Every structure is written in C-alpha cells, then in structure tokens.
Chains A and B, each alone.
Chain A
Amino acid sequence: MTSSRAAKIDRLASVAARGPELEPGPEGSGSRNATDAGVSLAASAWRRLRRNPVFLVGAVVIGLFVLLALLAPLIAPHDPALRLLDDQVSRARNEIPPPQDGHPLGGDQFGRDLFSRMLLGSQQTLLVAVLATVIGLGGGLVLGTLAGAFGGWVDSLVMRIVDVLLSIPSLLLAVSIGALFADQTQFTVILAVAIVQIPIFARLLRGTMLSVRQSDHVLAAKALGVKRGAIVFRHILPNSLGPVIVQSTLVLAIAVLDAAALSFLGLGAADDAIPEWGQMLGNAQDYFDNQPHLAFLPAVCIIVVALGFTLVGESMREALDPRQRR
C-alpha cells in the first residue's frame, strides 16, 4: 500500500513538472489567434475551471460552508453549550427533545439546541481543515525544498524519514500522534492530521523539484552564473508548486475526514461545549436505534464538505494537467 501511495505521488509530480514545457502552443513566429494571446498557465486553467460543472458544484458547496462557518455565531439562535431543553431529556427511555418552536431540529441528548450545534460545528471543521492543511503544507514545503534543493545525502535522509512516515497507515499515524498528547484539545487533532500530510507534500514537492532541476531554463540560469539560492527559490521552486497547490485542496478534504474520525474515536477536545461534527457523531452512537438523526446530520455535513473539497481539488488537477489541454 505504501509503495503504491509513494508511486502515485511521484507520478503526480512528474506529470505536473512536464507542464510548463508543453504549456504554450506551437506558435513560433508570433502569429497567434486572439483568444490565446497572453494567457498564462493559471489563467487558462481558470478558464477551463469556470466551464467545468464539477468544479462549480464543489465551489458552491465550499462557498456555502465557509459562509455558514463565518456567520454561524450570528445565525445560531441559541448558545450551543446551554442545556435549554434539559427537562425534556429522558435517559431511561432514550428520549431527546423533538423539534419544536425555536428549536427546528430539537435538542441533543443533553438538551442543547441541535440546530445551533450543527451550525457552530462547521467552524471547528473549517478551522481544523485549514490549519491542518497549512501546517502540513508548511512542513512539507520545508522538507521537500531541502531534499529537492540539495539532493545527495540530504535528499536521501529526508526521503527515508518520509518513507517511514508513509509506511504507517495515515489514520493509525494520526491516532498515535493524537494519543501522545496528555490533554486532548482541538489542537491535538489539528497537529495529528497535519503531521500525516507532511510526508505527502514533501515527497510531491521533492519529485517535482528534481525534474524541474533538469529543465533547460535552470541550465540557462546556471550558465548566467545565477547564485544557487536564487536558482532554487526563483527558478526551481516556483515552477514546482503546481502539484502541491492541487494536493492542498485534496488534503482539505482528507483533513475534514481525518479530524472527524479522530474526534469520533474520542481523541478530540475532551470538553464538548464547543460542538464538533465528528464528536457529535461519536456521541450519537448510543442513540442510533431510535434517534438516528443525531448521527445522520453531522455525518451528512462531513460527507458533503469533504466531497466539496474533493470536487474542487480533482477539477483543479484536471485543469492544470497539461495532457488535458486543448
């Protein structure tokens, strides 16, 4: 499994690295049609994205999700931590407050307003997804740049560490990292999810950088006596970021799922005053028989958000893939 994952990352890197060479059309003598004039890689990818219904659906889903997360404190009718409907809860009969006036989804097993909890749960999910991706991306960029820029033994060392991390199934690794921390907070989850992503980013960037390093314009820069640092940061790295950017959007989806899984397993924040979808899902297990909506609602939200990120990520990868260009 590990080797196939590693191979997939390398393949992605090599495809993307070939991008710039294939990019502009065969126009040699300066005569180009009007639509093609002055269109950069990013601009033409964007043009294709806009016409792609898959991307549009994903973008709308994510747009709504982000909007909800940002506006949740304003929209939410009640404080999600207050047990407003506690009197309607009956442990013995597995009864929870039904939907009623002012509480469109009713209450949860502690009598807290479910609608408000669902809304505010989006904040945690967004926070985890973005922070975990940013941290994973940052770590991966540092390691990948080290390996790709220096090559030789630095490359070997970094890549062996990466191989070790990749050889452990990602969720198991995340759970282990989460379990290392004494007090469980939401940050534990973020860190655990992020660390799992670091080797993937590192390997992807390193592979792309190694193939960009062989390209003509890097040789041309060397022939001009450009210093090594400038060659790496101006000529190699910027040309290697494409696949990493695409991977980031896909990692957003993975982070949503991983974070939910960790919370479900009880590795999230110990205090459930701040609602989180994965944790809500985990807590709903006891009520699955007669109150399935307690599990169903957060589950659907997790799936839809993860799907939205995946749709955007996959359509971005298609748009940036030089072989898809017409």
Chain B
Amino acid sequence: MALLEVRDLSITFHRKGEEPSVAVDNISFNVEPGQTVGLVGESGCGKSVTSLAIMGLLPSRGAKVGGSVTFEGEELLGLSQRELDERRGRDLGMVFQDPLSSLNPVVPIGLQISEVLERHRKLGRKEAKAEAAELLNRVGIPDPKRRLDEYPHQLSGGMRQRALIAIALACRPRLLIADEPTTALDVTIQAQILSLLSELVSGTDTALIMITHDLGVVAGLCDEVNVMYGGRIVERAQRHALFAEPRHPYTHGLLASIPRLDAPRGEKLVPIRGSVVDNIAWSRGCAFAPRCPSQLEECWSDPPELVDDRGGMLRCHNPVEVAPMAAEGAR
C-alpha cells in the first residue's frame, strides 16, 4: 500500500459573483515510503494548492475539494481540523517557500522548534530544548545552543530555511511536503538546502513531495516526476526517462528553455511561447494547445486522456518523438 494516495483530487475556488475557477482538476498520484516525488509546473498550475489540500490547509469557505487523499489507508479529506492537527506536524510535515515570513518574528527559533516537540512528542520543556538544539545541529546550523535564543531576523536566509526544515522534521514525519523550498534563496544556498533535504530523507522511510518550477531541482532530487499543466498532470515519468525522453511538448519546451553550460556559445534559449492566460479549458480540448508547437486539429476539440506511455503516463495526442539536446547534460 502506498504511503499517500491521491485519487481524483480536484479543487475549485468559488467566489461570489464570479465563475468558479478550477485550480486542480482530477489529479491522481501515489507516494511510496522513502520515495521522492516531484510536482513540477509553472505558476498557477495548481501544485501549491495540491499540497495545501493534502495538508488540509485550504480555507473551508470558498475552496471546494473533491476526490480522495488517503494517508496510510486513512482518508484525510473528511477529517476535522482537530483530527488533522494531530497528524500535521507529526505524520505530515511541510516546508514553505519563504523562510522569513514562515517563521514567527517575535518568537525565538528554539521555542518554535520545541513547541512542536512538546505538542506531538509530549516532551518536557527541558528535553524539548535539548532536542531542538540537536535538530538544529542536524540541519547544519553551527553553534545551535546559541541560535535557540535568537529570533528569525537574526539568522541568514539559508539558516532560516534550515531552521524551518528542522521544525518540519522535528517529529520525524513520514511525509514531508516541500513547497518550493529554495525559491527565496540564492543559488549557492539552494544547492546546500537541496542536498540537506535529500540527505535527511534518504536512508529513512520519510517520503518527500517536492513542489517546484525548477527542473534543476527535480533532476537532483526526485525519483518520480509529475508535470502539471493547467491543473492536470500532463506527464509522469521516472527522473531519467523524463530528462532523456520528454514526451509531452510542454515538458520538452521546459527542458529546451533551460540554459546549459555545455551548449555552444551564442545559442539562444527556446522559450515556450504564450503564457498561462492563453489556456483553453480542459473540457474543450488540451489546455496547452494554444501554446503547443506540435498541436493537431484534434487538440482543440478533443481533450486528451492520461494514458500509460513507455513506463510512465502521458496526456497528449501528439507526443514528442525526438529527444532534445537537453537530455544529456541534465542527467
């Protein structure tokens, strides 16, 4: 049995006087213990909303969540906030995008870690403090005892993200969701944080859902990758397969638009033309059709289904056959 099973999850936002907007449209995926699964896509494709829905953090008013999310066989979607509070932080951990705004500015770091330990692991104040220092040490923060009494603004950006990871992992959750954990950091720190994350989850049975728009992150970390577009999964593949043979024109376009160190000098990047606003509704056809270089007549009228394809899944009428140049270096 999979650790987390997401079945036909759909999320619709309702607003007074406006058409309901579908953020996530019938997506399904599994996460096995110890596995790292990537959820990739551009802004607005529904990846963050998916993570919030799994955590039960969407506002009860305005957001309608359908389908099913089971964690170790237990349905999460119907649970009350109180029941969810027992699982959040203990079984399910989450690392947010912006480490500064995700930490409470008026509470010292140590207290923010021990708060979770006292809450879920029922540790006493002293034990929790010692454990908090140990956690900070484990995420690579030097002089952890001193840092315990410091406030978030006194830490550097990278240290803040390390502290957030320490908090999320404090109770050794079995599933960790990282929502663009490196977006707010500069490149050198990004690499450190990513290797820290993979180091912390590898060798344990903690599963990781990595939400990102950065294929570089995926390349370094994920076992399996789900590419999302317009609220649906358009391609699912193992990491190497995805980079070697991207099948969906969107994935292909994403890979072609990444700058490469080994590309000939002066070679131009190939952007995906258009933007998300050009999408058509999935009910009418393929949402990506207006931006797709290999669109067919039927793409505009017949929405493609997600079907098995070369060991993965694919939602496309006219998949890409030739491997792009990008494939070699990305491995």
User: Which residues in A have some Cβ–Cβ distance to B below 8 Å?
Assistant: 20-21, 23-24, 27-32, 37-41, 215-217, 219-228, 230, 234-235, 238-239
Contacts and interface: CB of A to CB of B under 8 A. Distances in A.
A239 B100 contact: no
B229 interface: no
Q: Give 9 closest A-B pairs by Cβ, nearest first.
A: A30-B156, A225-B89, A224-B89, A225-B88, A28-B157, A216-B101, A24-B153, A20-B105, A225-B85
Given A30-B159, A223-B93, 17 more contacts: A20-B106, A24-B100, A28-B157, A28-B158, A28-B189, A29-B158, A29-B189, A31-B156, A32-B156, A39-B153, A216-B96, A217-B102, A224-B89, A225-B84, A235-B104, A238-B106, A238-B107
A239 B112 CA distance: 14
A236 to B, nearest CB: 9
Nearest to B170: A224
Contacts of B104: 217, 221, 234-235, 238-239
Interface of B: 55, 57, 84-90, 92-94, 96, 98, 100-107, 115-116, 119-120, 150-151, 153-154, 156-159, 164, 167-168, 184-186, 188-189
10 contacts: A28-B158, A31-B156, A216-B96, A223-B88, A223-B89, A224-B93, A225-B85, A226-B116, A235-B104, A235-B107
B174 to A, nearest CB: 14
A246 to B, nearest CB: 16
B102 A220 contact: yes
Contacts of B86: 225
Contacts of B150: 38
A322 to B, nearest CB: 12
B115 A225 contact: no
Contacts of A28: 156-158, 184-186, 189
Contacts of A24: 100, 153
Name the prevailing secondary structure of the B interface residues.
mixed
A239 B102 contact: no
Nearest to A40: B151
A191 to B, nearest CB: 32
A235 B169 CA distance: 20
Nearest to A238: B106
Contacts of A228: 85
Contacts of A219: 57, 96, 102
B103 A217 contact: yes
Best-buried of A40, A222, A225 by chain B (most CB within 10 Å): A225
Nearest to A26: B157
B188 A239 contact: no
Given A23-B153, A29-B189, A239 B105 contact: yes
B116 to A, nearest CB: 5
Contacts of B154: 37-38, 40
Contacts of B90: 225
A30 B157 CA distance: 6
A241 to B, nearest CB: 9
A223 B55 contact: yes
B159 A222 contact: no
A267 B105 CA distance: 46
A227 B101 contact: no
Contacts of B94: 220, 223-224
Nearest to B156: A30
A216 B102 contact: yes
A220 B100 contact: no
B94 to A, nearest CB: 4
Given A24-B100, A28-B189, A30-B156, A224 B88 contact: yes
Nearest to B101: A216
A239 B106 contact: yes
A227 B119 contact: yes
Contacts of B55: 223
A24 to B, nearest CB: 4
A291 B55 CA distance: 76
Contact of B101 (A21, A27, A38): A21
Contacts of B151: 40
A217 B120 CA distance: 19
Given A24-B153, A30-B159, A238-B107, A223 B57 contact: yes
A29 B105 CA distance: 18
A291 to B, nearest CB: 55
A234 B85 CA distance: 16
B85 A227 contact: yes
Contacts of B188: 29
Given A29-B186, A30-B158, A226 B89 contact: yes
A117 B189 CA distance: 68
Contacts of A217: 101-105
Contacts of A21: 100-101
A31 B57 CA distance: 35
A32 B158 CA distance: 13
A30 B203 CA distance: 30
A230 B115 contact: yes
Contacts of B107: 234-235, 238
A222 B88 contact: yes
Contacts of A29: 156-158, 186, 188-189
A225 B119 contact: yes
A38 B188 CA distance: 23
A216 B95 CA distance: 11
A226 B168 CA distance: 12
Nearest to B167: A224
A40 B153 contact: yes
Nearest to A217: B104
A221 B156 CA distance: 21
B116 A224 contact: yes
A216 B98 CA distance: 8
Contacts of A40: 151, 153-154
Contact of A220 (B85, B103, B153, B156): B103
Contact of B156 (A27, A222, A226, A230): A27
